[in-house]
A and B are shown apart, each in its own frame.
Chain A
């Protein structure tokens, strides 16, 4: 059996685990995949977080991707970072840079086994701040300057690809080179607040090809979180895991301890359990009903007869779900155009699933709303601040990440 087939049936422990430490964020990015903004009063305590780290160490989860919200606004962030590293659980954390002053940058440069990922969604302030909010470009660049000055070894710059920044790929690469950083680009998902702006921001079909060609030509040292496997149908498979890893090699722990199949799937349909329950995280990973189901052989559904199914595997589960498409059909950004057809064929009165977890500062207090389908329309234009985003699994080695941002 090929390795990728083993992955489909699940591993003893996740390879790529994202842990969002807080829903608090100083920004309010329009596409925040976790709809972050306000801290949840029920977030894991320092002691609880440490016991999760202990458990991850026992399970040999060798590194975790910390995100949020903006993880660094948690007062115990630096304590948890050290605790994790001391317990052989390496940390890659995603940040908008708000706390990375000179002092913290020097501290990080002295710390082994930590990776820093700065979110930047435009190579210019105009493009970046359009989605991440005023001042967020300068904040990210200042953090990169501080890290470079402190001699921190290769931070990553994480970019969510949008219609506005596909043309800036070369410029992003130049910025990365300038600050001795590694570029990482990931796919925009219609998750969290991303659902509200996906129609407007997701790359056009011609831009999908443009990204694919760029990755093939220049993507050698560029990380992707394995998030563009749906583009493999253009031709040769892109490096990395060409497979949806949700619940198989990937999962998300959210700030209140809920475990979801992937960082882009914060919705009760993809909620496997809460690690405060007996058996903790390991019980959920090994035995939850949801993860067991996700590890069953997939049929491919409507895509099964497509010649490209082996390379794209039907694409991203979350992208389908949050655009109201069936999970066994084409990805909304299917490069053969079947996704667009499916989107156009959606029933006019179809209610597209919406996450019931929302910590946006403009949302009503208390996130988790009752079970009944919520038709709550929050009178929300564009939040004028931004949060951030970046996803999940990186290549065989660079495992994925997620969003971040927070209010200090």
Chain B
């Protein structure tokens, strides 16, 4: 669903969907027919968000108290949520999304 570009993922804290996240400020999303192309200006890696729902989740992260809420709000079916969490974990590992400080 999300395809991280080749290359080792930068090491970061483990992905925790109970926490609030946001898109990295170093990342740009380009809408495409399949979903979106992600470009990380820091690592120069391309990756892909392979469904429109995943794009909604990723762009909506910053408006929700945790990852689960963002998935819920995007209307992702229950059965598909594990796959989305896995995709998001990959995006966290490659720096596309970051845990954000709670206020």
Q: Which A residues are closer than 8 A to B by beta carbons?
A: 1, 3, 6, 9, 11-13, 15, 60, 62-63, 88, 90, 113, 115, 239-240, 395-399
Of the residues A13, A239, A396, contact of B46 by C-beta under 8 Å: A396
Q: Cβ of A397: which chain B residues have Cβ within 8 Å of it?
A: 5-7, 44-46
Q: Cβ of A12: which chain B residues have Cβ within 8 Å of it?
A: 30-33
Q: Mark B1-38, 1 if CB is under 8 A from A, else 0.
A: 00101110000000000000000000010111110010
Q: Mark B53-92, 1 if CB is under 8 A from A, else 0.
A: 0000000000000000000000000000000000000000
Alpha-carbon separation in the docked complex, A3 to B5 (Å): 13
What are 25 A-B contacts with C-beta separation under 8 Å?
A: A1-B34, A3-B3, A3-B34, A3-B48, A6-B33, A11-B33, A11-B37, A12-B30, A12-B32, A15-B46, A60-B28, A60-B39, A62-B28, A62-B41, A63-B39, A63-B44, A88-B41, A240-B6, A395-B5, A396-B3, A396-B5, A397-B7, A397-B44, A397-B46, A399-B46
Q: Cβ of A239: which chain B residues have Cβ within 8 Å of it?
A: 6
| B41 in contact with A113 (CB, 8 Å) | yes
Q: Cβ of A6: which chain B residues have Cβ within 8 Å of it?
A: 32-34
- Given A3-B50, A396-B5, A15–B33 Cβ distance below 8 Å? no
Q: Which residue of A lies closest to B50 (CB)?
A: A3
Alpha-carbon separation in the docked complex, A115 to B43 (Å): 12
Interface size of B by CB at 8 A reads: 19
Alpha-carbon separation in the docked complex, A9 to B5 (Å): 21
Question: Closest CB of chain A to B8's CB: distance in Å?
Answer: 10
Alpha-carbon separation in the docked complex, A3 to B51 (Å): 10
Alpha-carbon separation in the docked complex, A28 to B6 (Å): 34
Q: Cβ of B47: which chain A residues have Cβ within 8 Å of it?
A: 396
Main secondary structure of the interface of A (DSSP, over half): loop
| B30 in contact with A60 (CB, 8 Å) | yes
Question: Closest CB of chain A to B19's CB: distance in Å?
Answer: 28
Alpha-carbon separation in the docked complex, A353 to B33 (Å): 35
Alpha-carbon separation in the docked complex, A1 to B1 (Å): 11
Alpha-carbon separation in the docked complex, A115 to B5 (Å): 17
Question: Closest CB of chain B to A112's CB: distance in Å?
Answer: 9
- Given A239-B6, A396-B3, A13–B44 Cβ distance below 8 Å? no
Question: Closest CB of chain B to A227's CB: distance in Å?
Answer: 15
Alpha-carbon separation in the docked complex, A130 to B3 (Å): 41
Question: Closest CB of chain B to A141's CB: distance in Å?
Answer: 26
| B46 in contact with A11 (CB, 8 Å) | no
Q: Cβ of B5: which chain A residues have Cβ within 8 Å of it?
A: 395-397
The 9 closest A-B pairs by CB, nearest first: A397-B5, A62-B39, A6-B34, A60-B30, A396-B5, A397-B45, A397-B46, A395-B6, A11-B32
Q: Which residue of B lies closest to A61 (CB)?
A: B30
Interface centre among A115, A239, A396, A398 (most CB of B within 10 A): A396
Alpha-carbon separation in the docked complex, A398 to B30 (Å): 17
Q: Which residue of B lies closest to A13 (CB)?
A: B30
| A90 in contact with B6 (CB, 8 Å) | no
Alpha-carbon separation in the docked complex, A142 to B41 (Å): 29
Q: Cβ of A13: which chain B residues have Cβ within 8 Å of it?
A: 30
Q: Cβ of B48: which chain A residues have Cβ within 8 Å of it?
A: 3
Alpha-carbon separation in the docked complex, A390 to B86 (Å): 37
Beyond known contacts A60-B39, A396-B6: 7 more, CB 8 A cutoff = A3-B50, A62-B46, A63-B44, A88-B28, A90-B44, A396-B5, A399-B46
Alpha-carbon separation in the docked complex, A396 to B44 (Å): 11
Q: Cβ of B6: which chain A residues have Cβ within 8 Å of it?
A: 239-240, 395-398
Question: Closest CB of chain A to B47's CB: distance in Å?
Answer: 8
Q: Which residue of B lies closest to A220 (CB)?
A: B6
Alpha-carbon separation in the docked complex, A393 to B12 (Å): 29
Alpha-carbon separation in the docked complex, A62 to B41 (Å): 8
Q: Cβ of A398: which chain B residues have Cβ within 8 Å of it?
A: 6
